[in-house]
Chain A
Amino acid sequence: DGGITQSPKYLFRKEGQNVTLSCEQNLNHDAMYWYRQDPGQGLRLIYYSQIVNDFQKGDIAEGYSVSREKKESFPLTVTSAQKNPTAFYLCASSPFQGSPLGGVFGQGTRLTVV
C-alpha cells in the first residue's frame, strides 16, 4: 500500500548531538513537508520541498536542515543549534505544491532530548 513512513517512532537524543529523522513516501508525490507539533501550538512548518534538490525554509527552520536527493525521501536533521528540540515531528507529502488534495501524513516521530 502507498503511504508515508517515518522512522523511528521514538527517538532520544543527548544535548549537543545531531539526529536525523527519516521520511520515505511511495506515493510518487513531488512535494514533501516537515512539521513540528507542540501542545497548544498546532503544526508549524519547518521545511518543504517541491522537487528533488530543491527546498525552502518554513516558519521555524532555525536549527534544522534537510535534503532532497531522491523524490521519495526527505530526511530532517535536528542539529545541536536547535534550542528546544523535544517535540512531535510530522512528515507529509502531496502530489504537488498547492495540491487541492491536501497532504498525506506519516505517523510521526517523537523526539526527546535527555
Chain B
Amino acid sequence: AQSVTQPDIHITVSEGASLELRCNYSYGATPYLFWYVQSPGQGLQLLLKYFSGDTLVQGIKGFEAEFKRSQSSFNLRKPSVHWSDAAEYFCAVGSPRGGRDDKIIFGKGTRLHILP
C-alpha cells in the first residue's frame, strides 16, 4: 500500500538559514510526488511536483525538491528561508496508473517555525 512519512513534526530554523524537510514514501513503482504548503486556516497550495524526468524539481517561492529512487525520498529544500515561509508543509504521493481506486496520499505534515 502507498504511504508517506514525514519524520519531523516540527522544525525550527533561523531566518536566512537553509532548510531541508524530509519525505519518504512507500510505493511499488515510481509514483507522482508533490509538496504542498498550508498557512493557518487556509487551503493547500502546490509548491512543486515530480512525475518523470529530471530528479531535481524547481517549484514556486524558491523551493526545490530532489527525487531519490534508491532512498524512496523526495526531500524539500530552500537555500535561505524567509519569515513568510513559516507554515505547514505536506508531502504527498499519487499513483500514475490513474485507476478508479487511485488517490493522493498525504503525509502528516511538518510545521516550520522561523526564528528572527
Q: Is the CB of A97 within 8 A of B98?
A: yes
Q: Which chain B residues numbered 26 to 72 have a C-beta less than 8 Å away from chain A?
A: 32, 34, 36, 41-46, 49, 51-52
List residues of chain B with CB under 8 Å of any chain A CB.
Answer: 9, 32, 34, 36, 41-46, 49, 51-52, 90, 92, 94-109
Residues of A within 8 A of B102 (CB): 97-98
List residues of chain A with CB under 8 Å of any chain B CB.
Answer: 4, 6, 33, 35, 40-43, 45, 48, 50, 56, 58, 88, 90, 92, 94, 96-108, 110
Q: Is the interface of B mostly helix, strand, loop or mixed?
A: loop
Q: Tell me how far the C-beta of A4 lies from the nearest C-beta in chain B, rounded to whole angstroms.
A: 8
Q: Is the CB of A105 within 8 A of B103?
A: no
| Cα of A24 to Cα of B8 in the assembled complex, Å | 34
Partner pick for B101 among A4, A56, A99, CB 8 A cutoff: A56
Q: Is the CB of A42 within 8 A of B90?
A: yes
Residues of A within 8 A of B94 (CB): 98-100, 102
Given pairs A40-B9, A45-B103, A102-B34, 12 additional interface contacts (CB within 8 A): A4-B43, A6-B43, A35-B106, A41-B108, A43-B44, A43-B106, A48-B103, A56-B101, A97-B100, A102-B32, A102-B46, A105-B43
Pairs A-B, 10 closest by C-beta atoms: A98-B98, A42-B108, A100-B51, A105-B43, A43-B106, A105-B44, A98-B102, A102-B34, A107-B43, A100-B32
Residues of A within 8 A of B104 (CB): 33, 45, 94, 102-103
Q: Interface centre among A94, A100, A106, by most B CB within 10 Å?
A: A100
Residues of A within 8 A of B9 (CB): 40
Q: Tell me how far the C-beta of A110 lies from the nearest C-beta in chain B, rounded to whole angstroms.
A: 7
Chosen A-B contacts, 8 in total, with CB atoms closer than 8 Å, are A43-B106, A45-B103, A48-B103, A98-B97, A98-B98, A100-B32, A104-B46, A108-B41
